[in-house]
Amino acid sequence: MNFVGEHILSVAQLNRADVEEIFAVADKMTPFAHRERVTRVLDGAVLCNLFFEASTRTRLSFGAAFNLLGGSVRETTDMESTSLVKGESLKDFARVVSAYSDVIVMRHPIDGAVAEFAESSRSPVLNGGDGSNEHPTQALLDVYTIKKELRTRKKGLDDLRIAVIGDLKYGRAVHSLIKLLKLFRNITVHLIAPPVLSAPESVITELQKAGHEVRHFEQLEHGIQGVDVLYMTRTQEERFSSSAEAREYQGLFRINQAVYSQHCEPDTVIMHPLPRDSREAAQEVNVDLDSNPNLAVFRQSDNGLIVRMALFALILDVVNKVEDYSTQVGWFTDARKWD
């Protein structure tokens, strides 16, 4: 696809060549993300970040990515502080906000709301997560991370074996991830979830129709054997009718060093979109794995910055100008370490 001026609402818009192009641009962004160089290529451009649900990584990394390309960021983090609470339609809201911005990122609690907003926006819109539907940029950074992690293990995305674990019903990050993996060859996906939290049928059948293998498990110990990647998720408490109902599923699947050592192949990559739920009843990824070099969860969030810089550069058509507008800076210290 030609990314210039386009909305990114769903991974379904992308083919394999598009994903590879994003990853190639992401690689080029790395020195800028790591503050080895500074670019002002988006000087004068404005990003509006509209986040109507809790967010740390997605909001801040989109904002920082734009800043690192030289642009400015305006944001609103609360629907209560916008005129949407006065009954303004998403259509009017989009018409207005898109005049203030060159690009918009929106997170919204309702499935499809970001696409509805985008229809009336005069600036490109990136979906930062819409309800339990999709989280396309998370899936891009996840697949970019898988690619990087497996490269050191002399493997690629083709023939990937991955276990996806937890709340597969409401987890928008896993919906986008599974849909994106469909683009590669010979993928094996182990879906580990209680039946009531299984992935939507449409997501599973799409994968099967593309010729990939899907296996269902209810026992963590069985499903995590023979895979390259474990992708853990949090019970999406905010999508349940009550916290009490969500609690029934928290802590159902937990990975810790002992479980990992007993059941996983050596070097299995451990991923999670974060936040991991650190409350005692949950702890789907135990902190005793923090010293395990295969825990990639913070490399994932680091990669989020790079992938989001790549998307802005592609959409705003500055990929080939980033270097021209770059400079050395005095404040950079190489004491900062990157994985």
Instruction: Give residues in contact with ligand NCD (CB under 6 A).
Output: 57-58, 129, 135, 138, 172-173, 234, 236, 273-274
Of 39 and 145, the one with the shorter C-beta distance to ligand NCD is 145
Q: From the candidates 7, 39, 58, 108, which is the catalytic residue?
A: 58
Nearest-approach distance from CB 152 to ligand NCD, in angstroms: 23
Q: Is 135 a catalytic residue?
A: yes
Q: Is 215 a catalytic residue?
A: no
Q: From the candidates 59, 107, 108, 148, which is the catalytic residue?
A: 107
Of 51 and 93, the one with the shorter C-beta distance to ligand NCD is 51
Nearest-approach distance from CB 175 to ligand NCD, in angstroms: 10
Residue 154 backbone class (left: φ over 0; alpha: ψ -120 to 50; beta: rest): left
Of 98 and 138, the one with the shorter C-beta distance to ligand NCD is 138
Nearest-approach distance from CB 165 to ligand NCD, in angstroms: 12
Tokens of 3: 């990314």
Give the pairing of strands 326-327 and 38-39: antiparallel
Nearest-approach distance from CB 168 to ligand NCD, in angstroms: 12
DSSP string, 119-163: HT-SS-EEEEEETTTB-HHHHHHHHHHHHHHHHTTT--STT-EEE
Q: From the candidates 28, 35, 40, 57, which is the catalytic residue?
A: 57
Q: Compute how many other C-beta atoms are within 10 angstroms of the C-beta atom of residue 93.
A: 18
Distance CA 259, CA 254 (A): 8
Kindly tell me the sign of the dihedral angle through the C-alpha atoms of 204, 207, 211, 212: negative
Q: Is 57 a catalytic residue?
A: yes
Rg (CA), the chain: 20
Tokens of 248: 């029934």
Q: Is 58 a catalytic residue?
A: yes
Of 140 and 160, the one with the shorter C-beta distance to ligand NCD is 140
Tokens of 263: 């059941």
Report the C-alpha dihedral over residues 68, 71, 72, 76, rounded to 10 degrees: -80
Q: From the candidates 108, 135, 172, 272, which is the catalytic residue?
A: 135
Of 177 and 319, the one with the shorter C-beta distance to ligand NCD is 177
Distance CA 140, CA 180 (A): 8
Q: From the candidates 86, 154, 209, 336, which is the catalytic residue?
A: 86
Residues taking part in catalysis? 57-58, 86, 107, 135
